[in-house]
Protein backbone atom coordinates (compact mmCIF):
# COMPACT_ATOMS: atom_id res chain seq x y z
CA UNK A 1 0.00 0.00 0.00
CA UNK A 2 2.81 2.39 0.92
CA UNK A 3 4.63 1.62 -2.35
CA UNK A 4 1.45 2.19 -4.35
CA UNK A 5 0.89 5.56 -2.69
CA UNK A 6 4.49 6.57 -3.33
CA UNK A 7 4.20 5.53 -7.00
CA UNK A 8 0.97 7.50 -7.41
CA UNK A 9 2.56 10.62 -5.89
CA UNK A 10 5.57 10.32 -8.21
CA UNK A 11 3.30 9.90 -11.23
CA UNK A 12 1.09 12.82 -10.17
CA UNK A 13 4.01 15.23 -9.74
CA UNK A 14 5.73 13.92 -12.86
CA UNK A 15 2.66 14.55 -15.01
CA UNK A 16 2.24 18.01 -13.49
CA UNK A 17 5.80 18.92 -14.46
CA UNK A 18 5.30 17.61 -18.00
CA UNK A 19 1.96 19.41 -18.34
CA UNK A 20 3.51 22.71 -17.26
CA UNK A 21 6.22 22.30 -19.90
CA UNK A 22 3.61 22.05 -22.63
CA UNK A 23 2.58 25.67 -22.02
CA UNK A 24 6.15 27.03 -21.99
CA UNK A 25 8.23 27.42 -25.12
CA UNK A 26 11.25 29.40 -26.23
CA UNK A 27 9.13 32.16 -27.75
CA UNK A 28 7.14 32.92 -24.63
CA UNK A 29 10.22 32.47 -22.41
CA UNK A 30 11.98 35.16 -24.47
CA UNK A 31 8.89 37.37 -24.51
CA UNK A 32 8.62 37.10 -20.73
CA UNK A 33 12.24 38.27 -20.28
CA UNK A 34 11.70 41.18 -22.67
CA UNK A 35 8.48 42.32 -20.98
CA UNK A 36 10.09 41.99 -17.54
CA UNK A 37 12.84 44.38 -18.70
CA UNK A 38 10.43 46.86 -20.28
CA UNK A 39 10.13 49.09 -17.14
CA UNK A 40 13.90 49.69 -17.32
CA UNK A 41 13.63 50.60 -21.05
CA UNK A 42 15.37 47.31 -21.99
CA UNK A 43 18.67 48.44 -20.40
CA UNK A 44 19.45 44.94 -19.12
CA UNK A 45 19.07 43.31 -22.56
CA UNK A 46 20.67 46.06 -24.67
CA UNK A 47 23.79 44.93 -26.50
CA UNK A 48 26.20 46.67 -28.82
CA UNK A 49 25.28 49.82 -30.77
CA UNK A 50 24.36 48.94 -34.37
CA UNK A 51 23.61 52.41 -35.75
CA UNK A 52 22.63 55.91 -34.69
CA UNK A 53 21.55 59.18 -36.21
CA UNK A 54 18.95 61.93 -36.09
CA UNK A 55 17.59 61.25 -32.64
CA UNK A 56 17.47 57.46 -32.84
CA UNK A 57 19.77 54.55 -32.14
CA UNK A 58 19.58 50.81 -32.78
CA UNK A 59 21.18 48.26 -30.48
CA UNK A 60 21.57 44.54 -30.75
CA UNK A 61 19.38 42.70 -28.24
CA UNK A 62 21.06 40.18 -25.97
CA UNK A 63 17.74 38.31 -25.73
CA UNK A 64 16.51 36.68 -28.94
CA UNK A 65 14.00 34.10 -30.04
CA UNK A 66 16.00 31.09 -31.23
CA UNK A 67 16.20 31.08 -35.03
CA UNK A 68 15.24 34.76 -35.40
CA UNK A 69 16.66 36.60 -38.42
CA UNK A 70 17.49 39.71 -36.37
CA UNK A 71 16.59 41.24 -33.01
CA UNK A 72 17.23 44.81 -31.98
CA UNK A 73 16.26 47.55 -29.58
CA UNK A 74 15.34 50.88 -31.13
CA UNK A 75 15.51 54.07 -29.08
CA UNK A 76 14.22 57.36 -30.38
CA UNK A 77 13.45 60.79 -29.02
CA UNK A 78 10.10 62.12 -30.16
CA UNK A 79 8.15 65.04 -28.73
CA UNK A 80 10.72 65.45 -25.94
CA UNK A 81 10.21 61.87 -24.79
CA UNK A 82 12.46 58.85 -25.04
CA UNK A 83 10.69 55.93 -26.73
CA UNK A 84 11.92 52.38 -26.88
CA UNK A 85 11.04 49.30 -28.92
CA UNK A 86 12.29 45.71 -28.86
CA UNK A 87 11.83 44.23 -32.32
CA UNK A 88 12.55 40.74 -33.62
CA UNK A 89 12.30 39.64 -37.25
CA UNK A 90 11.39 36.09 -36.32
CA UNK A 91 10.99 34.64 -39.81
CA UNK A 92 11.55 35.65 -43.42
CA UNK A 93 10.58 33.67 -46.52
CA UNK A 94 9.43 34.20 -50.11
CA UNK A 95 6.46 31.79 -49.97
CA UNK A 96 3.26 33.14 -48.40
CA UNK A 97 1.90 29.76 -47.20
CA UNK A 98 5.07 29.03 -45.23
CA UNK A 99 4.91 32.50 -43.67
CA UNK A 100 1.20 32.15 -42.84
CA UNK A 101 1.78 28.78 -41.14
CA UNK A 102 4.67 30.15 -39.08
CA UNK A 103 2.62 33.26 -38.22
CA UNK A 104 -0.18 31.09 -36.81
CA UNK A 105 2.32 28.91 -34.96
CA UNK A 106 3.94 31.96 -33.33
CA UNK A 107 0.53 33.35 -32.39
CA UNK A 108 -0.31 30.07 -30.66
CA UNK A 109 3.03 30.13 -28.82
CA UNK A 110 2.43 33.69 -27.57
CA UNK A 111 -1.27 33.68 -26.66
CA UNK A 112 -2.02 32.95 -23.01
CA UNK A 113 1.60 33.47 -21.98
CA UNK A 114 1.71 34.35 -18.29
CA UNK A 115 4.27 37.01 -17.41
CA UNK A 116 5.22 38.06 -13.90
CA UNK A 117 6.85 41.51 -14.04
CA UNK A 118 9.02 42.24 -11.02
CA UNK A 119 7.05 44.03 -8.32
CA UNK A 120 3.74 43.72 -10.19
CA UNK A 121 0.93 41.23 -10.58
CA UNK A 122 1.17 38.53 -13.21
CA UNK A 123 -0.43 39.36 -16.56
CA UNK A 124 -1.73 37.14 -19.33
CA UNK A 125 -0.85 37.93 -22.95
CA UNK A 126 -4.08 37.62 -24.88
CA UNK A 127 -4.97 38.27 -28.50
CA UNK A 128 -7.36 37.33 -31.24
CA UNK A 129 -6.02 35.52 -34.30
CA UNK A 130 -6.40 37.27 -37.65
CA UNK A 131 -5.97 35.03 -40.67
CA UNK A 132 -3.56 36.75 -43.09
CA UNK A 133 -4.28 37.02 -46.79
CA UNK A 134 -1.75 37.04 -49.59
CA UNK A 135 -3.61 40.03 -51.04
CA UNK A 136 -2.82 42.20 -47.99
CA UNK A 137 0.67 43.66 -47.60
CA UNK A 138 0.50 43.22 -43.83
CA UNK A 139 -1.52 41.68 -41.00
CA UNK A 140 -1.12 42.83 -37.41
CA UNK A 141 -2.23 41.06 -34.26
CA UNK A 142 -2.10 43.26 -31.21
CA UNK A 143 -1.91 41.43 -27.90
CA UNK A 144 -3.45 42.75 -24.69
CA UNK A 145 -2.00 42.29 -21.22
CA UNK A 146 -4.70 41.29 -18.77
CA UNK A 147 -5.01 42.73 -16.17
CA UNK A 148 -2.51 45.47 -16.96
CA UNK A 149 -1.42 47.86 -14.23
CA UNK A 150 1.49 50.20 -13.62
CA UNK A 151 4.12 50.20 -16.38
CA UNK A 152 2.35 47.32 -18.14
CA UNK A 153 -0.51 49.68 -19.11
CA UNK A 154 1.90 51.51 -21.42
CA UNK A 155 3.07 48.36 -23.20
CA UNK A 156 2.12 47.04 -26.64
CA UNK A 157 2.97 43.63 -28.07
CA UNK A 158 2.38 43.13 -31.79
CA UNK A 159 2.89 40.22 -34.15
CA UNK A 160 3.07 41.39 -37.77
CA UNK A 161 3.21 39.51 -41.08
CA UNK A 162 4.44 41.94 -43.72
CA UNK A 163 5.25 41.66 -47.41
CA UNK A 164 8.22 43.75 -48.47
CA UNK A 165 9.22 43.37 -52.13
CA UNK A 166 8.00 39.76 -52.29
CA UNK A 167 9.64 38.83 -48.99
CA UNK A 168 7.24 37.81 -46.18
CA UNK A 169 8.56 38.78 -42.75
CA UNK A 170 7.14 38.01 -39.34
CA UNK A 171 8.01 40.62 -36.73
CA UNK A 172 7.36 40.49 -32.99
CA UNK A 173 7.53 43.91 -31.29
CA UNK A 174 7.32 45.09 -27.69
CA UNK A 175 7.06 48.87 -27.40
CA UNK A 176 5.56 51.95 -25.76
CA UNK A 177 1.92 52.70 -26.58
CA UNK A 178 3.01 56.30 -27.18
CA UNK A 179 5.25 55.08 -30.01
CA UNK A 180 2.26 53.55 -31.80
CA UNK A 181 0.47 56.87 -31.68
CA UNK A 182 3.40 58.94 -32.94
CA UNK A 183 4.99 56.77 -35.61
CA UNK A 184 4.59 53.51 -37.47
CA UNK A 185 6.97 50.72 -36.58
CA UNK A 186 9.45 50.34 -39.37
CA UNK A 187 10.22 46.77 -40.38
CA UNK A 188 13.50 46.61 -42.24
Per-residue pLDDT reduced to its tens digit, 37-94: 998 999 999 999 999 998 899 999 999 999 999 999 999 886 667 889 999 999 999 9
Residue pLDDT, tens place only, 124-147: 999 999 999 999 999 999 999 998
**How many CB atoms are closer than 10 A to CB 130?**
15
Stretch 153-162: mean pLDDT? 94
Measured distance CA(51)–CA(86) in Å, rounded: 15
How far lies 119's CA from each of 35, 37, 112, in Å? Answer: 13, 12, 21
Sorted by sequence, the CB contacts under 8 Å of residue 8 that are 6+ apart come out as none
Whether 164 contacts 180, CB under 8 Å: no
The SS3 of residue 112 is: coil
Please report the pLDDT score of residue 1 as a whole number: 53
Q: 0.85 cut: is pTM over it? A: no
Amino acid sequence: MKNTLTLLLILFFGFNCIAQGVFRNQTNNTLEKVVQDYPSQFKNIKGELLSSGQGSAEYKSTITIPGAVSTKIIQSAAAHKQEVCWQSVVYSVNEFNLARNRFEELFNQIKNTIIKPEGEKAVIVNGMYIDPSEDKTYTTIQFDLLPASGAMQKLNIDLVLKNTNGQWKIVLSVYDKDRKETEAIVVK
